[in-house]
Copies of this chain bind each other. A is one copy, B any other.
Amino acid sequence: MTACPARPSVGRPARPRSPTKRAARLGSRDVILDAATTLFLRNGYLGTSMDDIAARAGVSKQTVYTHFADKEQLFTDLVLGNIERVEAFVQTMTRLLEDTTDLEGDLRELARRYVSVVIQPQVVQLRRLVIGEAGRFPDLARTYYERVPARTTATLAAQLQRLADRGLLRLEDPHLAAGQLAWLILAVPLDVALLCGDSASLPAAERERLADAAVRVFLAAYGRG
């Protein structure tokens, strides 16, 4: 693809306008995190105050401070909030692969789910924030790296080793192979999401084509057959 995918011509449904209603639905902590994400991405970390966050979330500044000691704590919690999603996905990955009887089919299923998780707007926005603020928060960026992409790859590596032990793959370095599989699946859709904007993500059919092609290349290199 030499151009960003076109933006959809039909607008997406507008977000609920009332922060108060959102607070009732989501709980004030999530509404604050949501508001903070929007503002950090729009105005940067330094350009965003706790007052701004409270105003956008539709809560009092005191409520913000009930949940977060200060702006840095809020930012840290926001970034590390991704970790719950990682744990859920890591379990899915393990369940799909550990006793597979249809390796190619289950790798395809894994690839489709993997890309769906990673290009969720919230995940992309967090990644964008962490990358953009890595100069100011190097330790946080390293922690994110270790607990999000590296944790996922390590789990995938363990599963690939298990598949090799069962005689279903032929590989010497499961960690290398896991990184290759992960990025064959994720890199193109993620690059588009990071650079072309949330409203311009690849169509589902294109994502599935890429996911299937990733598995095909991986199995050509590491399959038994």
Contacts and interface: CB of A to CB of B under 8 A. Distances in A.
A187 interface: yes
A135 interface: yes
A156 B39 CA distance: 38
A2 B197 contact: no
A95 interface: no
Nearest to A132: B132
Nearest to A152: B2
A44 B42 contact: no
B184 A188 contact: no
Interface stretch (A105-113, A160-168, A217-225): A217-225
13 contacts: A1-B150, A1-B153, A1-B179, A2-B153, A130-B195, A132-B132, A138-B197, A142-B196, A142-B197, A173-B213, A180-B217, A217-B220, A217-B221
